[in-house]
């Protein structure tokens, strides 16, 4: 490991522009993989650091890990480290600064992925991927190559290569409106469902809801997210504003945060907080805080509009409301006209670090098996048999609905109640079946139980979204982006909570990090 990553602390790194979409190319690099130069041996011991996108300990994680290690024939070889999901990237930064805690495999969001690759902390798996069973299986979906092309990023020597693997598309957020709130506020439900609102119409809806319910309408998981795309939880407010560096129509990099679009976006957010439409506590809300307010039965806390993940979460949110005995009818808005389209994030990536002693073995026996089309893919997609799903004849009952058991026949795939939240059925593990890049060898075992509302939500998002545009990352960028983004996040919070105007924030931004911004722009526009 050639550098520490103290400057890559979890402060929100790059927006929807993180890496540059390029065609798969040359993989020359100082740590280049080469599976045909030496025999690939099975790893005997390696550390894997995962976030909450993999089933947690309280949600049957041990059963999943046990069955996975058995299916991979790696029993006892894997040390699993799973920090709390909300503090994951803080723990990543700590782990990468110590040889004793450095993981061999890690999940990284796209921005961290690009920066860690540029700092020579990730193993170049390009050759291993090109020779892999997965790539050559014929089971990848038609658009998979577009996703894998986006994983080609700059290494420490500036050469583009693949330093990580993903099993699924990135997904993105859509705006959910409680139909009951719309009806009480006298908003035309048919228009919300079938038409594209303008910003004025959207904000008018929020103000009517605020008047009808007497408090905020939206409680967001932060005014900006901690990972790209940072504006995805308040897309109607940010509209065309870019949070970080991006290429303009001339192909030149500019700083999105310095633009009038961003100043206007911050003013819209501040106005909404001042008007009582947007929850001021969003500044410290976690994702679970915001979800809890959306499903709260406390009339003083409950929110009515929530921008969150499409697909599986569409059904999960409805289940939350139903369990809380709230009206579970939700409207998924089309993106407002000024926004144009929602953004699909770049996929989180599974990476092998330069700390790993046997990266080829880890790739072959662990990474490449995730989309094996069989038992291992089933585990990553649906979790552990007997804990998260089963095929045996049995009666399944959700907590609180003991009078409504569901009977299943022998051989019939079915989800089981979530160990963590037995009021709801399990729906997925790390790989969302609606986003998977690889098909099963025969039949997807869970295909028949995928919820129609989730599939419709995923279709709606796919038809109204565009994939995030990544940006090139270099040494100057990584040296300065932590400082720049810390200031950006601070200023967003101050404007939103009324401590500064948007204009004052822009002046402060130029005064305190203007030199760093100019240095990054100069390096990107060489």
Give the model confidence (pLDDT) of 298-349 as tens digits: 999 999 999 999 999 999 999 999 989 999 999 999 999 999 999 999 899 9
pLDDT, mean of residues 396-406: 94
Distance from C-alpha of 204 to C-alpha of 388, rounded to nearest angstrom: 43
- Which residue from 9, 7, 3, 12 is spatially nearest to 90, judged by alpha carbons? 9
Confidence class of residue 455 from pLDDT cuts 50, 70 and 90?
very high
What is the model's pLDDT at position 28? 35
Backbone angles phi and psi of 312, in degrees to 5: -55, -40
What is the model's pLDDT at position 31? 57
- Which residue from 89, 134, 85, 79 is spatially nearest to 110, judged by alpha carbons? 89
Distance from C-alpha of 389 to C-alpha of 426, rounded to nearest angstrom: 8
Element (H, E) at 307: strand 305-309
Which segments within 305-415 are labelled E, that is strand?
A: 305-309, 330-332, 342-344, 349-352, 389-390, 394-396, 406-408, 414-415
Element (H, E) at 160: strand 160-162
Mean pLDDT score of the chain, rounded to an integer? 91
Percent of the chain residues topping a pLDDT of 90: 83
pLDDT tens, position by position, 98-109: 888 999 999 999
What is the model's pLDDT at position 32? 53
Confidence class of residue 412 from pLDDT cuts 50, 70 and 90?
very high
- Residue 171: left if φ>0, alpha if ψ -120 to 50, beta else—which one? left
> 297 to each of 2, 205, 301, how far by Cα in Å?
52, 22, 8
Helix H, strand E, coil C: the string for 226-241 is CCCCCCCCCHHHHCCC
Alpha helices in 56-124 (DSSP H): 61-72, 88-95, 110-118
Q: What does the domain layout of the chain look like in residue ranges?
A: 6-170+345-381, 173-344+470-524, 389-425
Distance from C-alpha of 433 to C-alpha of 427, rounded to nearest angstrom: 9
Q: How many CA atoms lie within 13 A of 240 on its CB side?
A: 7
Q: Cα angle at 21 between 344 and 155, to 5 degrees?
A: 115
CB 118, CB 154: distance < 8 Å:
yes
Q: Does domain 6-170+345-381 have CATH number 3.40.190.10?
A: yes
Element (H, E) at 292: helix 287-294
Q: Is there a common fold for 6-170+345-381 and 173-344+470-524?
A: yes
The three-state secondary structure class of 300 is coil
Distance from C-alpha of 202 to C-alpha of 188, rounded to nearest angstrom: 12
CATH number of 173-344+470-524: 3.40.190.10
CA 391, chain centre distance (Å): 30
For residue 87, give the DSSP letter: G
Confidence class of residue 474 from pLDDT cuts 50, 70 and 90?
confident
The residue ranking higher by pLDDT, 367 or 29, is 367
Q: Cα angle at 497 between 492 and 499, to 5 degrees?
A: 85
What is the model's pLDDT at position 6? 41
Direct distance between the N- and C-terminal alpha carbons of the chain, in angstroms, rounded to an integer: 28
What is the model's pLDDT at position 274? 98
How is residue 390 written in tokens? 């089963």
- Which residue from 230, 163, 234 is spatially nearest to 13, judged by alpha carbons? 230
Q: Is the pLDDT of residue 86 over 60?
A: yes
């Amino acid at each position: 490991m050639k550098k520490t990553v103290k400057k890559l602390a979890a402060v929100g790194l790059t927006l929807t522009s993180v890496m540059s979409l390029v065609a798969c190319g040359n993989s020359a690099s100082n740590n280049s993989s080469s599976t045909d130069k030496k025999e690939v041996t099975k790893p005997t011991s390696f550390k894997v650091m995962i976030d909450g996108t993999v089933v947690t300990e309280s949600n049957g994680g041990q059963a999943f890990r046990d069955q996975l290690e058995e299916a991979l024939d790696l029993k006892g070889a894997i040390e699993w480290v799973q920090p709390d999901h909300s503090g994951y990237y803080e723990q990543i930064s700590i782990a990468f600064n110590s040889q004793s805690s450095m993981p061999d495999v890690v999940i990284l969001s796209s921005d961290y992925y690009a920066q860690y690759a540029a700092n020579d902390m990730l193993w170049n798996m390009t050759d291993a991927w090109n020779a892999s069973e997965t790539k050559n299986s014929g089971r990848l979906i038609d658009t998979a190559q577009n996703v894998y092309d986006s994983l080609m990023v700059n290494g420490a020597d500036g050469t583009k290569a693949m330093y990580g693997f993903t099993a699924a598309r990135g997904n993105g957020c859509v705006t959910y409106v409680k139909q009951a709130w719309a009806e009480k506020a006298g908003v035309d439900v048919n228009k919300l469902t079938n038409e594209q609102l303008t910003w004025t119409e959207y904000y008018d809806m929020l103000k009517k809801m605020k008047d009808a319910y007497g408090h905020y309408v939206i409680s967001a998981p932060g005014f900006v997210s901690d990972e790209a795309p940072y504006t995805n939880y308040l897309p109607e407010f940010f509209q065309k504003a870019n949070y970080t560096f991006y290429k303009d129509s001339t192909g030149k990099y500019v700083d999105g945060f310095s633009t009038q679009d961003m100043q206007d976006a911050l003013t819209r957010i501040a106005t909404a907080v001042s008007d009582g439409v947007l929850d001021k506590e969003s500044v410290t809300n976690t994702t679970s805080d915001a979800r809890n307010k959306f499903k709260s039965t406390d009339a003083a806390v409950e929110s009515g509009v929530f921008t969150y993940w499409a697909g599986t979460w569409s059904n999960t949110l409805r289940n939350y409301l139903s369990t809380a005995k709230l009206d579970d009818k939700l409207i998924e808005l089309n993106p407002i006209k000024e926004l144009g389209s929602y953004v699909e994030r770049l996929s989180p990536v599974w990476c092998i670090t330069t700390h790993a002693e046997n990266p080829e073995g880890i790739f072959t026996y662990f990474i490449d098996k995730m989309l094996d089309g069989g038992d291992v893919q089933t585990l990553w997609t649906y979790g552990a048999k007997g804990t998260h799903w089963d095929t045996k004849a049995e009666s399944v009952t959700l907590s609180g609905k003991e009078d409504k058991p569901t009977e299943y026949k022998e051989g019939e795939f079915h989800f089981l109640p979530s160990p963590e939240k037995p009021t709801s059925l399990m729906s997925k593990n790390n790989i969302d079946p609606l986003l998977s890049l690889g098909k099963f060898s025969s039949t997807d075992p869970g295909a028949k139980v995928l919820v129609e509302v989730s599939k419709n939500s995923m279709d709606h998002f796919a038809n109204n979204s565009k994939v995030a545009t990544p940006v090139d990352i270099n040494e100057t960028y990584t040296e300065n982006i932590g400082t720049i983004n810390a200031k950006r996040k601070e200023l967003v919070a101050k404007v939103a909570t009324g401590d500064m105007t948007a204009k004052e924030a822009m002046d402060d931004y130029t005064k305190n990090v203007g030199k760093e911004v100019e240095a990054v722009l100069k390096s990107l526009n060489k």
